[in-house]
Structure 1
Amino acid sequence: MVAGRRITHDVESPNPFDMSGDSLTARAAVDEHGVIIEWSEGARRLLGYSSAQVIGRPAADLLDEEISAEAMRRLRTLPRWTGTVRLRHQDGHGVEARLLAHHQREDDSAPHWLVLSPLAGSGAAEDPKELAAWSFYQASCCSMHAYDTDLRLRQANHYAERALNLTEAEMRGLRHAELVVHPEFDRVEQCMARVLETGEPQDVEVRVQVAGEIRKQAWSLSLYPIRDEGGELRGVGLSAHDMTEQYWAQKRLQLLNDAGARIGSTLSVARTAQELADVAVPEFADFATIDLLPDVERAEAAPSGDAMPGPTAEGSFVLRRVAQQSVLPGIAEAVLRPGEVDGYAANSPTAECLATGRAVLHAEFAPDSADWSVGHPGREESVRAFGIHSAMAVPLTARGHTLGVAVFLRHERPESFSEGDLLLAEEITARAAVCIDNARRYTRERETALALQRALLPQRLPVQPAVEAAFRYLPTDTLAGVGGDWFDLIPLSGARVALVVGDVVGHGVQASAIMGRLRTAVRTLADIDLPPDELLTHLDDLVIRLSADTDMDGASHSDQAAEMAAGLGATCLYAVYDPVSRVCAVASAGHPVPAVVSSGGAVDFLDVPAGPPLGLGGLPFETTEVTLPEGSLLVLYTDGLVESREQDIDEGTARLRSALASPATSLDDLCDTVLARVPPEHPADDIALLIARTQALDPRHVVTWGLPADPAVVARARKLVTAQLDAWNVQEASFVAELVVSELVTNAIRHAEPPIELRLLKGRHLICEVSDASSTAPHLRRARTYDEGGRGLLLVAQLSRGWGTRHNGTGKTIWAELALDSPESSPPATSTQNRP
Structure 2
Amino acid sequence: MGSHDVGDGARRWFDVADAVPLLLDARGVVTSWTRDAERLFGYVAAEAVGKDLAGLLTVGDAARVPDVLELCRRSGGWAGLLSARRKDQHPVPVMARFTSADEPGGPGHWLVLVNEMGGAHGWSMSRSVLEQMVAGSPIGIAIVDTDLRFVWSNETLAQFGGGAPESRLGLRLADVQPGFDAEAVEARMRQVLETGEPVVGYEHVGRLRAAPFRETAHMLSFTRLDDDRHRPMGVYYTVVDITDRHRARQRLALLDRAGRHIGRSLDTARTAQELAEVVVPGFADAVAVDLLESVLRGAEPVVERAEAPDGSVALRRAGLRSAGGGVGDGGTAVVSHPAGSPAVGCLTTGLAWRAERLGPDAADVNPYLPPVGAGAGPPSALIVPVRARGATLGVTTFLRRSTQEPFDEDDLTLAEDLVSRAAVCLDNARRYTRERDAALVLQRSLLPHRLSEQEAVEVAACYRPADTLTGLGGDWYDLIPLSGARVALVVGEVQGHGIDAAAAMGRLRTAVRTLAALELPPDEVLAHLDDLVSRAQEDGEAPEEDDGGPARAVGAGCLYVVYDPVDGRCAMAAAGHPAPAVVLPDGTISFVDLPQGPPLGAGGPPFESAELVLPEGSTLALHTDGLLSQSEQWTPEAGRERLVRALTARADSLDLRCRTVIDALVPDRPRDDVALLMARTRRLSPDRVAQWELPADPAAVAEARKAAARRLADWDLAELAFTTELVVSELVTNAIRYATGPIRLRLIRERALVCEVHDGGATTPHVRHPRTTDEGGRGLLLVSQVTRRWGTRFVPDGKIIWAEQSLTDPEV
- Normalised by the length of structure 2, the TM-score is 0.49
Computing the radius of gyration over CA atoms, which structure comes out larger, 1 or 2?
2
